[in-house]
Amino acid sequence: MLNLVLDAAPRFLFFTGKGGVGKTSLSCATALALAERGARVLLVSTDPASNLSEVLGTRLGNEPGPVPGAHGLMALDIDPMAAASAYRDRVVGPYRGVLPDQVVEGIEEQLSGSCTVEIAAFDQFTALLSAPGDFDHVVFDTAPTGHTLRMLALPGAWTSYLDTNEVGVTCVGPLSGLTQQRARYREALQVLADPGKTTLVLVTRPDAGALQEAGRASSELAAIGLRNQVLMVNGVHPGLEDADDRVGRAFVARQREALGLMAPALAQLPRESIPLMGRPPVGLEGLRSLLQPEAPDRHRPASLGEGLAEQYELGLARLVEEVTHRGRGLVMTMGKGGVGKTTVAASIAVAIARQGVPVVLSTTDPAAHLISVLGSESDLPAQLSVERIDPAAATAAYTAEVLEGAGAGLEQAARDVLVEDLRSPCTEEIAVFREFAATVARAQEQVVVLDTAPSGHTLLLLDAARSFQREVSRQSAEVPPEVEALLDRLSDPEFTRIVVVTLAEPTPVHEAQALQEDLLRAGIQPLAWVVNQSLLATGTEDTLLAALAAHERRWIDEAARIGGRVMVVGWQPAPPLGADGLLALVGSAPAAALAG
């Protein structure tokens, strides 16, 4: 298994794809297999919401450390906040005691924004590409697709920006502080594009949405010169048994249909299928079983799903009723990539709009696939308005506004500094944040359902609330009122309902727990958890699916212990796409429960 990447593996391997497709499992299994073949391997996570420690079964830090039980394997999590602190110290350090304290304080203030978090983590990433040490292989477990595409495009963006910067300053400090990085970014770009040094592993599942996103990612990577790609289709059901089980038949049929509709360009890539496992591949033994799959246990306890409907809400009906009755306010779906946040958000919005209540459905996800989930516009309720925070449009509007406002009265030299500042790749983060705050403000008058980006990206967005006022003041001297009110609105349970979406698996539940803890520290209390795509709720008797379902009850109970209120949404035989498919998630009895 994984021979596509293990045979003749290059020095650098990047695993990317839609959240939840199994990037971390496959990158960890690949790194482990290479190490067990005698290579020196470094496994790196660039995901702000990394679960590398969870999958490897050991706690990792911001520096390479050994993985117990795996000789030759080292691993690290790039912690964005720790990287930002180290970056600030490195940039500011040479000026302490040389420049006046007031000037040094000004530089520190400039480096306190969200831009610094991004460039600092990116700086560590490029350092590993340009100076990988004595490792034979460096395996990158990257963030979900939209975030990863931005990261892989940054070497070119920053190189171009620094090459043409004539004013000596940047949004992340003095230009002189980036002199060394300029050469590193150029080298990183060359390494990424060299098929003899780097392979990009596009991980997907036999699912229409995941395959569509893999196709988009493949095209966008090729457009920036990264054509050395292979495709891994993870979680393929063999389709050999349990022909009488309705859920099993539907599961296999959906997979085969999705694979048959794969984009031609994607289908032409070198490809390997990874079979569906009967248990989550967690820990070294779990990863080794992924490399050598075993037949699932055919025994299915008779009481597997007993008491589920009595103990938990099945479907989203009660939540929809509560929001509809109020008629306004914000609903935010949050969680790790791949757990179905977009589907849950769209289902809630469509159901409320069907009751005649005006709803705005929007997304902050850079890899948004909201339109594909909603299907034909003609089938949607008239009361539903669908929007997307477009990063390019938001950045253009923000830049024009700042130049017309704060830039209008500046002398040419000062205006040049401002223009250069706005040209930086980081300006997009500020612009998107402002649009996010404006969308939240609209919930004062109507229902707004917000499909957020994967949790790490979203938490960086929320953390930015604390520094965003300084960023906007520095560029435009004007803080929008919706930004000033944002944190108060998000922490008001009468205004905001946070729904944490997860799956009945160990990693998604623990990731959701970490997300909830971060929200609580920010004074934001989630309303409920949604355990999505539950096989346990279907009553399936398919051997493989029942083996997976047997592991679910423990994690549904754990979700209730952590989150309190839990809604369980069953896996649906028909794809939850379009208005009717989405409404199936709302009903108190999942359609899939009719298995048999």
Residues recognised as catalytic: 20, 22-25, 47, 507
Angle between helices 114-130 and 145-164 (to 10 degrees): 90
Q: What is the C-alpha to C-alpha distance for residues 306 and 577, in angstroms, rounded to an integer?
A: 29
Q: Which residues are 74's β-sheet partners?
A: 42, 66
Q: Which amino acid is at 196?
A: G
Measured CA to CA in angstroms, residue 555 lies from 403, 536, 550 at distances of 52, 11, 10
3 state SS for 322-357: HHHHHCCEEEEEECCCCCCHHHHHHHHHHHHHHCCC
Which of 115, 58, 94 minimizes the C-alpha distance to 422? 115
Which of 334, 338, 366 minimizes the C-alpha distance to 118? 366
Contact 398, 430 (CB under 8 A): yes
Q: How many CB atoms lie within 10 A of CB 239?
A: 17
3-state helix, strand, coil in the chain (%, to 5): 50, 15, 35
Measured CA to CA in angstroms, residue 585 lies from 212, 304, 363, 541 at distances of 22, 21, 19, 21
Measured CA to CA in angstroms, residue 194 lies from 4, 34, 125, 190 at distances of 18, 21, 17, 6
Contact 336, 506 (CB under 8 A): no
Q: Which residues are 236's β-sheet partners?
A: 275
* Element holding 469 (H helix, E strand): helix 455-476
Q: What is the C-alpha to C-alpha distance for residues 475 and 462, in angstroms, rounded to an integer?
A: 20
CA 510-273-146 angle, 5° bins: 50
Which of 29, 15, 254 minimizes the C-alpha distance to 143? 15
* Residues near 121 by beta carbon (within 8 Å), at least 6 away in sequence: 46, 48, 78, 80, 83, 84
* Residues near 596 by beta carbon (within 8 Å), at least 6 away in sequence: 245, 246, 539, 541
Contact 536, 306 (CB under 8 A): no
